[in-house]
Structure 1
Amino acid sequence: MVSRIGNCLHGICTASPSNSFTRRINAPQAVGRRAAPDQRGCMRHGFLMKGGIVIALVALFDRLFQFGFAGAGIGIFAGAWLLGLVAARTDVRRTPHAWIAVASASLFVVALLNDPGLLAWAMFWCALSVAALLPRSVKLDDAWHWIARLTIHAFAGIAKPFADLRRLCRRRKGARTNPRAVAATLALPLAGGALFLLLFAAANPLIEQALASIRLPSPWRVLLWLFVALCLWPSLRPHAVVMRLAARLPDPEPALPGTSLLSVLIALALFNAIFAVQNGLDIAFLWSGGQLPAGMTQTEYVHRGAYPLIGTALIAGVMALAMLRPHSASEQHPWARRLVTLWVMQNLVLVASSALRTIDYIESSMLTAWRIAALAWMALVALGLVLICWRILKGLSARWLINWNALASTIVLAICTFVDLGAIASAWNVRAQTAQKIDLCYLHQVGDGALNPLIALEQRPMDPTTRDRVRFVRERLLTDLEARQNTWAEWTPRGARRLAEAHAGLREHPVQPLPIAEPAWRGCDGSIQHPPAATSQP
């Protein structure tokens, strides 16, 4: 037994995350014959080790998140999950490309420790899942197949724990264990043990007190543990169907059925003419500030169409790829290539106009986190259009195009996991707008990211009513942040830094908002609200 465990720890044999307990990963010579006794013992040891890691992670989850899934504990749990994957999967440790995914997952663990969020958690899960699946893939091939693998892994992983439990119920010869036989085997020890415990509890008050102190977990807590275990297990034993289904994907080349070279040329000429009209209007009235027709205001023209135009550019990009499929007649025709290039350039102007509309809307109202995200999305669309044009001119594959777009999107999303867009928007609004114009309800909604901008706003000159409203919102955010930072389950490093900066800005005795008496209340912007006056009935 000692030699078997030693062989396991030194990598002589490895536990397989495949569908069979009697096959080694990356060992084709083992297929078709029974594993040696030492190999089977080592595989059982590896399987039990993975089960122990899942139990330990579920126990850690229960300890960290007794009151909710929040705080730096999310980063601690993510780091423990990543360490468990590396410890349990010898094939991951032996795959060089898997260490790239492990390093990426570690980066998002840092983001989750600093200030956890849904985006950071999604990026961490993707990186961890890539590390778990890479030993079964030849290499980091293309983003198209990896998107499919992650999608299939997310859904197929739900069935994997049940399939493994079903295997555990099989005997060595392959026959299933009879549930009645199991029940008959356990009936005597369980019933007899319960009977003797009850008798000893009646005779011994110490045993009675010990049994009375036992508190079983609630059914909902047990279901939560099972759910967490179901989510953890597929990363340690991925389903074999993930690679098989993803390998059957066709090439990501969009197609327009029933089109000919003549129809493509006519369509491209028509599309270029339509886009030229739209871009000409934008250049005349949006970029140059020309006089609009009667009944149309500049605000109405600017504030409409930013997002529909982006959708138009995306549809146009996909159609451009479909019209010039590799080795098609239109792809070889010089005029088709010129017209598509011109159309892509017009789409770039369309994206630039959409960005300008968004910027003008921000200047006339306010900046929000979603508008920052929209500008970043427009930049990605513009980059995608440039890559489409380059792909057409150089005759590159659709996989090349998807890989570069996926890389750019991953970089942008990774940056967003470390940046608080709400705090950036709040700071900009405070700097660029007057106190009376700032939407305090939005700053209240942002949360502690708007706390220090509000403290800076409070020190600017303004009328007493507006200052009292600012103080109320600031005090609400400060109280909420202090309460969360004083609770270990919700504490975060970013929150600690913000709280220290807030205390330094407010000094020792911050001025409190004016008290109000019931039945009056404060709105989200700090304004004092009164109930409507009661009308007397005749």
Structure 2
Amino acid sequence: MTSFFTAAPSYCSRFGVAVLLVVLADFLFYGQPAAITVFLFALLVAAAVVAVHPAAFSDGRVWLKPAALLVALLPLAENVSALSVAIALAALVVFVLSLSGRLRHRIARIAGQIVLFWLAAPFRFANDFIRWRKTARRFGGRRIRLAAIAVWVMPLTLGAVFLALFGAANPVIDYWLSLIDLMKLLDLIQLARIAFWLFVLAGVWAFLRPRLPRFRLRTPRPNHPPADAQPAAVPDRHVVEDIVFGKAAILRALVVFNILFALQTGLDATYLWGGVALPDGLSYAAYAHRGAYPLIVTALLAAGFVLAALRPGSETSGDPVIRRLVYAWVAQNIMLVISSILRLDLYVGIYALTYWRIAAFVWMVLVAAGLVLIIARIALGKSNEWLLSANLLTLSAMLYACCFINFAATIANYNVDHSFEMTGQGIPLDAWYLRSLGPGAFAALDRFFDHQGKTPAAGAVRELEGLRASDEDWYRTVQQNWRAWSFRDWRLLRYLDSKGSLVLPQPPQPSLPGR
């Protein structure tokens, strides 16, 4: 009995907090724009987690964890995107696991914990509910709950009868009852809304009851051979592996790979860096586009080969000749990645900028950083787990920084500044694509329209300019809801207000009669 009654208050209090968070989520999100409300709700979830873990205050450095969480949630205040939401969710998982004492100390293991947490999160509430009912039934709690419900049947029934009688006898009460629109209340009960409640309940419950799934490995039974049995002859598989993937094979492979990569690096140095004319029929755009992505795949394959060939503690990892060849090869791979970035830059300079090309730039920088970390791992004698942790830390820092970059404005400004209409070179501006980028492209489109208004081709963009005005009206309407506020939108509204104050003429002063 003791275990049930000590566990029940914990479940009940957490369930009450979860229901309160569901109510707040309905007020903040359902049928509403999502912006600063996501940041506020994340803070509310963090506060609820702290409230249900009072033992966490015993740590003298307890305030470091909320401070770190606040830093991780700042991208939500800047702008709500899939990336900022993903970073916030990962930070909340780390926060709740640290408060509950379940967080590990290495970055690679923490990443695994985050993945396990979200794999188990959708089923956490259902699992805890089933366990709670089984525990209550085992200790006789079912009869207690049924009695607690039954004791309210008679008071509520008679109370409803008395209220109806009072309404018939008292016109004031009858007026109050007439204000209750039962059909309108029933309209609030929608399947989509109930699904939203359940979704939020399952999500916040995973934070209030942070648990990770446990995997039990079945240990195989030892199979003892007879005493007189002789061990079977081992095939020559290890001999084949030593020949094909041994020290001599890896040494020869590194020599061949260095020669091939030196050839590719030399061609890039000639055509890309040296400015030598390409063969007839081949443009710089085609040369850049054909080589940008395959070279990244080449670098990734090279990284995998290095990790497999120079495993910590292996015979090849201690050979000085192999280590020098690996250093030279990885350095050439870094040069290939830099050449890929230059190729992509040349291609973008001709065919404009898009989201996918920005993502390619970011990916190439990450690949280059990973190659540098591989050299650091070999030189410092670190483990593959250290390499994985370092790459995860680099990836996290890069994604966190990307949350504060307005890529829509970056793309729009670049494409306008390098368009044929603005510079007389390159390709014509795809203004319809810029409009699809959303409000972030308003400033760049305004500069484009102002420039086109001074040229004879101004009539060709009047239709798009009219759509730009309607887009701004829609945007201002959405921003009237405080839930849609963010720092990025606040800055954009300041720009729109300042532009409007500059272009709108002052209304004429009415003249007084007799003057």
TM range (shorter): 0.7 to 0.9
Q: Which structure shows the bigger proportion of residues in helix conformation?
A: 2
Q: 1:164-185 CA distances to partner (integer Å, 9 max, x unpaired)?
A: 2123324568357669x97798
Distance 1:95 1:433 in 2: 58
Deviates more, 1:262-271 or 1:359-368: 262-271
2:416 maps to what in 1? 430
1:147 paired residue among 103, 111, 118 = 111
- Tell whether 2:207 aligns with 1:235: yes
- Equivalent positions of 1:191-202 (< 5 A) are 193=156, 197=160, 201=164
2:486 paired residue among 484, 492, 498 = 492
Q: Which blocks of at least 5 consecutive residues in structure 1 are unaligned?
A: 1-21, 23-33, 247-255, 512-538
Distance 2:322 2:481 in 1: 64
Distance 1:93 1:503 in 2: 46
Q: Are the aligned partners of 1:95 and 1:135 in contact in 2 as well (CA < 8 Å)?
A: no
Matching residue's letter, 1:503: D
Distance 1:300 1:395 in 2: 42
Matching residue's letter, 1:238: P
- Tell whether 2:373 aligns with 1:387: yes
Q: Are the aligned partners of 1:142 and 1:403 in contact in 2 as well (CA < 8 Å)?
A: yes
Q: Are the aligned partners of 2:412 and 2:444 in contact in 1 as well (CA < 8 Å)?
A: yes
Distance 2:435 2:216 in 1: 47
Structure 2 length as normaliser, TM-score?
A: 0.80
Distance 2:41 2:206 in 1: 17
Closer/same/farther in 2, CA of residues 263 and 357 from structure 1, 3 Å limit: same
Greater Rg by CA: 2
Q: Are the aligned partners of 1:102 and 1:128 in contact in 2 as well (CA < 8 Å)?
A: no
Distance 1:125 1:236 in 2: 14
2:77 maps to what in 1? 113
1:344 paired residue among 302, 307, 330 = 330
Distance 1:96 1:263 in 2: 56
Cα displacement (A) at 1:124: 0.8
Distance 2:14 2:202 in 1: 13
Q: 1:137-192 CA distances to partner (integer Å, 9 max, x unpaired)?
A: 5765222111110000001122221222123324568357669x977985785599
Distance 1:77 1:273 in 2: 57
1:276 paired residue among 251, 259, 262 = 262
Distance 1:324 1:98 in 2: 42
Task: Give the 3-state SS of the residue equivalent to 1:294 in structure 2.
Answer: coil
CA RMSD after TM alignment: 3.3
Q: 1:257-303 CA distances to partner (integer Å, 9 max, x unpaired)?
A: 97221222222223223322322222222222323333323221112
Matching residue's letter, 1:415: A
Distance 2:216 2:327 in 1: 36
1:457 maps to what in 2? 448
Distance 2:308 2:478 in 1: 52
- Tell whether 2:390 aligns with 1:404: yes
Distance 1:142 1:354 in 2: 33
Distance 1:356 1:446 in 2: 25
- Tell whether 2:467 aligns with 1:503: no
Distance 2:261 2:13 in 1: 62
Cα displacement (A) at 1:132: 1.0
Q: Which blocks of at least 5 consecutive residues in structure 2 are unaligned?
A: 169-173, 218-240, 423-427, 506-515
Deviates more, 1:181-190 or 1:496-505: 181-190
Distance 1:97 1:358 in 2: 47
2:185 maps to what in 1? 215
Q: Are the aligned partners of 1:97 and 1:139 in contact in 2 as well (CA < 8 Å)?
A: no
Closer/same/farther in 2, CA of residues 294 and 88 from structure 1, 3 Å limit: same
1:475 paired residue among 450, 469, 476 = 469
Deviates more, 1:462-471 or 1:395-404: 462-471
Q: Are the aligned partners of 1:70 and 1:489 in contact in 2 as well (CA < 8 Å)?
A: yes
Q: Are the aligned partners of 1:317 and 1:385 in contact in 2 as well (CA < 8 Å)?
A: yes
Distance 2:323 2:259 in 1: 16
Cα displacement (A) at 1:210: 6.1
Matched-pair identity in %: 29
Structure 1 length as normaliser, TM-score?
A: 0.77
1:303 maps to what in 2? 289
Closer/same/farther in 2, CA of residues 387 and 478 from structure 1, 3 Å limit: same
- Equivalent positions of 1:158-237 (< 5 A) are 158-171=122-135, 174-175=138-139, 186=149, 190=153, 193=156, 197=160, 201=164, 204=167, 206=174, 209=178, 212-213=181-182, 215-216=185-186, 217-237=189-209
Cα displacement (A) at 1:126: 0.6
The alignment covers a number of residue pairs equal to: 464
